[in-house]
């Protein structure tokens, strides 16, 4: 095999070798990058909330991992009465809604639900929903 200017051009306008390599890298690389970005696993820890007791201080931190939670699209619903003595808030401004704290001194026994819906920055419709059962005993 003889390489000459007609059938092999490394440089110049008719750079078939580099053009083909570029095309192959694009056709193989783009799908790989897209696949790598998919399938994030979002989690909220702990799996279950510890039991709270009437008249005793309760403090539990929830940690959301897998991406940065969007503050504008974070939803929290609970049937805990306002006079029960609990607050559910972000831990601080730095971590935003990736760290949530539940704290207070419960006044009444009961079973309650806490439902969290977290959406993530740069992830389109990615959503994590978690329902906790919150039990207060005497």
Please write the tens of the pLDDT for every residue from 74-119. Answer: 999 999 999 999 999 999 878 889 999 999 999 999 999 999 999 9
CA-angle at 89, arms to 88 and 93, nearest 5°: 170
Q: How far apart are CA 61 and CA 45, in angstroms?
A: 8
The two three-digit tokens of residue 1, written as one number: 């095999």
The pTM of the full predicted model, rounded to 2 decimals, is 0.68
Helix (H, G, I), strand (E, B) or coil at 128: strand
53-81 residue pLDDT tens = 999 999 999 999 999 998 888 999 999 99
| 6 vs 106 pLDDT, higher one | 106
Q: Rounded distance, CA 66 to CA 135, Å?
A: 28
Question: Does the pLDDT value for residue 8 go beyond 90?
Answer: no
**Mean of the pLDDT values across residues 42-56?**
96
Question: Fold for domain 43-137?
Answer: Immunoglobulin-like (2.60.40)
User: Peptide bond before 42: cis, by omega within 30 degrees of 0?
Assistant: no
- State the pLDDT at residue 15: 55
The structural domains of the chain, with segments of one domain joined by +, span 43-137
- SS3 assignment, position 98: helix
Residue 27 pLDDT grade (very low, low, confident, very high; cuts 50, 70, 90): low
Asked if the model's pLDDT at residue 30 lies above 90, the reply is no
SS3 for 12-63, per residue? Answer: CCCCHHHHHHHHHHHHHHHHHHHHHHCCCCCEEECCCCCCEECCCCEEEEEE
For the chain, the average pLDDT equals 82
Q: How many helices (H) and strands (E) does the chain have?
A: 1, 8
């Amino acid at each position: 095999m003889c390489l000459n200017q007609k059938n092999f051009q490394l440089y110049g306008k008719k750079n078939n070798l580099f053009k083909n390599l570029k095309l192959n890298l694009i056709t193989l690389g783009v799908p790989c990058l897209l696949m790598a970005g998919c399938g994030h696993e979002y989690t909220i820890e702990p799996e279950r909330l510890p039991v709270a007791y009437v008249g005793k201080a309760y403090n539990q931190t929830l940690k959301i991992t897998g991406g940065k939670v969007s503050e504008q699209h974070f939803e929290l619903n609970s049937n805990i009465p306002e006079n029960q003595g609990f607050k559910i808030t972000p831990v601080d401004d730095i971590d935003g809604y990736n760290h949530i704290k539940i704290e207070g001194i419960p006044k009444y026994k009961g079973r309650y639900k806490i439902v969290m819906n977290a959406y993530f920055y740069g992830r389109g419709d990615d959503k994590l929903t978690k329902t906790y059962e919150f039990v207060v005993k005497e």
